[in-house]
Structure 1
Amino acid sequence: MEIMASNDELENRLDSSLYGTPQLKPDEQRHYLGTFRERVALTLDFKEVKNSDYLEILKKELESHPEYHLLINGNVPSGSFSALIKISRQTNTNFETVANNTTNSESELAAVVASKDTALNLSNVDVAHKN
């Protein structure tokens, strides 16, 4: 018995072979260091990650939510990277360094606090707007 795939199935298989598995919202995932916006609790850009007051807010967020994890942009300067790792250890939070192929402009995110698999749907996640 011969099984024939439809043209759409064949085309999908060829596309997956050539381009890889399609991603859902790839630009959003790139911006939020590999996660979806709906899972994000807090973000810091490259300028904010150098501010000790903002790092304290980050620490309090991680202490309040032990189920969250920390995503760190691989382009973060070593001093800020060390501070983020220290906070991660102090709060017993898992962290992940994310390779980001773009330059570290101030408009990019340096660190993201997110839920691993639960949608939070918070309206404001920028550290500058947190109390």
Structure 2
Amino acid sequence: MKSDHKTDTLANMDPSMQRVAVGIHGIPELKRDEKINYLGEFRERIIRRLTKKQVAEKSIYPEIEKALSHRESSRMLINGSLSPQFTDKYLKLARKMKKSYTVIHDPELTGETGLVVISNDAVDIQDIDV
């Protein structure tokens, strides 16, 4: 059976070909390209986002403090490629506000995202950028 990578999906394959495809390529990941740009999270879960340049600025963005206070916020993610001299102020803010945080060290992450405040559920906020 010849496979056309662009049109074949697991749902269109017979069960034996599905097992082979999963064995070779692993379990497919939903919205992988989107998640790579947002520190491994789905766009619809993001309450606020800062770029790497914004995180590197001296002061804390009040929008991030407000986002951490948002009733839906669950935690903060920070890009691990940034220096602690830039990220420590946000880690302290998260601790002060009793929100968990994770520093993400993943070389596959692309884009300019430096920090996101996220929810466990979809919040679908249109303008997440500060």
Same structural fold, with TM-score higher than 0.5 when normalized by the shorter chain: yes
Q: Go from structure 1 to structure 2 and tell me whether the alpha carbon gap of 1:75 and 1:64 turns closer, same or farther (over 3 Å shift).
A: same
Q: d(CA) in 2 for partners of 1:103 and 1:39?
A: 17
What is the SS of the residue equivalent to 1:60?
helix
Q: Is 1:12 aligned with 2:18?
A: yes
User: Alignment partner for residue 38 of structure 1, among 35, 44, 58?
Assistant: 44
Instruction: Give SS of 2:14's match.
Output: helix
Rounded to whole Å, the distance in 2 between the matches of 1:103 and 1:92 is 27
Tell me the distance in 1 between the aligned counterparts of 2:106 and 2:22. Answer: 23
TM-fit CA distance, 1:67? 3.8
1:57 Cα deviation (Å)?
A: 2.1
Relative to the length of structure 1, the TM-score reads 0.79
**Contact 2:37/2:109, CA 8 A, preserved across alignment:** no
- Assess, with a 3 A threshold, how the Cα gap between structure 1 residues 102 and 11 changes in structure 2: closer, same or farther: closer
C-alpha displacement at 1:122, in angstroms?
A: 0.8
Alpha-carbon distance in 2 for matches of 1:103, 1:36: 13
Deviations 1:15-65 (A, max 9, x none): 1112111001101011111111111110001111123152x3212221233
4+ long deviations beyond 2 Å: 63-68
Which blocks of at least 5 consecutive residues in structure 2 are unaligned? Answer: 1-12
Match of 1:114 in 2: 118
**Per-residue deviation at 1:99?**
2.1
- What CA distance in whole angstroms lies between the structure 2 residues aligned with 1:15 and 1:102? 22
User: Which letter maps to 1:123?
Assistant: Q
Aligned to 1:124: 127
Gaps of 5+ in 1: 1-6
Please tell me whether residue 26 in structure 1 is matched to residue 29 in structure 2: no
Counterpart contact for 1:40–1:113, Cα < 8 Å: yes
Please give the root-mean-square deviation of Cα atoms over the aligned residues, in Å.
Answer: 2.0
C-alpha distance 53-88 of structure 1, shift in aligned 2 (>3 A): closer
Aligned residues: 117
Contact 2:60-2:90 at 8 Å conserved across structures: no
Q: Does 1:77 align with 2:108?
A: no
Q: Which residue of 2 aligns with 1:3?
A: none
